[in-house]
Amino acid sequence: MRWIYLDNNATTQPDPAVVTAVCEMHEQLWANPSSVHRFGQEVRHRVELARSSVSSLIGCRDRELVFTSGGTEANHLALWGVLGRQGGAPKILITTKIEHAAIREPAEALAECGGRVVYLQVDRVGRVDPASLASSLADHTDADEAGGVTLVSLQWANNETGVIQPIGELAAVCAAHRAEHLGCRVLFHSDASQAVGKLPVDVGAVGLDLMSFSAHKFHGPKGVGALFVRTGVGLCAQQRGGPQERDRRAGTENVPGVVGMGVAAELAGRFLAEPREAERVRAMRDRFEREVQRAIPSAVVIGVLDGREDCRLWNTSNIGFPRLESEAILLGLSERGVCASAGAACSSGSLEPSPVLLAMGVPEQVAHGAIRFSLGRFTTEQEIDDAVRIVAEVVGRLSKTLPMGV
């Protein structure tokens, strides 16, 4: 079967150059990079070259980058590495209920362990008002709480809707709070797995303290990611047993993955330097939405903010089909060769509507039938034409045979 792959927010096709680099490391440069012999040090050199490439993509220093097994581990290292190192001191996490499960579930675990978790409200498209963050910081932080730390963790771009947070403004709120309340320890983390490689990212210019991301979201290999840790930010290692990654993450590095991530970062940098490529995909996404709505007038595009395209990733479309179940739609699409998702790919199989959409205030009858279509660099116009036709046929058939009673 010829697949029409519209699930690029779940994972992307590894670029051929990435595959070549990964194979080279497996076949020729397979020594342990911690070994002191020349073979091992040749491999170490390739790891550090990759670190430099990834650091350049996000605007940080090489020594501020920690390689991990992916975005989930990077998120855990950020949250527990900061909030788990304070002993009995107060621990406060400020976040939202529209985060990826790799943040939502650790937040729930933190609350169970006695930490304080504060959830910010989002507007109808899923954006955080910087004023609400400022108010929350004023209400929930106290410079007199000795040794306490507050971590703000907000996703840069949402994996389900593509909605982009005003990260620069939110970071400025944290900086202003620190300046006004000397002694108040507030750090800002962002899960940027959907932003890196799709948007220009400069952690220094934005003012982030920590940022996590994953290679397979920008045409790199699976099983490798990274955490940016600003110089001066204390981090407690969650894996111990070796001095790797400057004592911040023990374990022999996934060298083929790291090198592949470095190649993917270089390719992403070239892609971002040519904005016409992203605009080409955005135009296909917009045409897909228009034609789906023309064929199915009840379809609802989720996460659109008054026509402002700078508030949504150029590749992502979340469309709700009222009174239908997303699982039934996905099965119908899959049988016809169209790959899409209902919410995050790692939560597929759930019959419950996405907690992200519910937190945005999307009506349940729309959220139950919401499908995420995410395009990529390799998506073609013909695939969009075929996808529109198949979506219309599948949804039309289900509307006649399996409507929900909500």
Write out the catalytic residue numbers: 346
Strand partners, 189: 153, 210
- CB-based contacts of 55, cutoff 8 Å, min separation 6: 61, 62, 64, 65
Contact (Cβ atoms closer than 8 angstroms) between residue 375 and residue 284: yes
One DSSP character per residue, 230-298 reads -TT-----SS-SS-HHHHTS-S---HHHHHHHHHHHHHHHHHHT-HHHHHHHHHHHHHHHHHHHHH-TT
Contact (Cβ atoms closer than 8 angstroms) between residue 190 and residue 152: no
Q: How many CB atoms lie within 10 A of CB 213?
A: 29
Contact (Cβ atoms closer than 8 angstroms) between residue 236 and residue 85: yes
Strand partners, 318: 302, 372
Cα dihedral value 168, 171, 176, 179, nearest 10: -130
Per-residue tokens: 376? 């990529």
**What does DSSP say about strands 225-229 and 210-214: parallel, antiparallel, or unpaired?**
antiparallel
- Rounded to the nearest angstrom, the gap between the alpha carbon of residue 247 and the centroid of all alpha carbons in its chain is 25
Among 179, 189, 180, 120, CA closest to 150: 189
Among 268, 359, 310, CA closest to 162: 310
Contact (Cβ atoms closer than 8 angstroms) between residue 309 and residue 285: no
Burial code (b: 16+ CB inside 10 Å, e: under 16) for 161-187 equals: bbbbbbbeebbbbbeebbeebeebbbb
Contact (Cβ atoms closer than 8 angstroms) between residue 341 and residue 7: yes
Q: What angle do CA 336, 341, 347 make, to 5 degrees?
A: 135
Beta strand segments in 11-158, E: 65-68, 91-96, 116-120, 149-153
Residue written as token pair 């940080």: 60
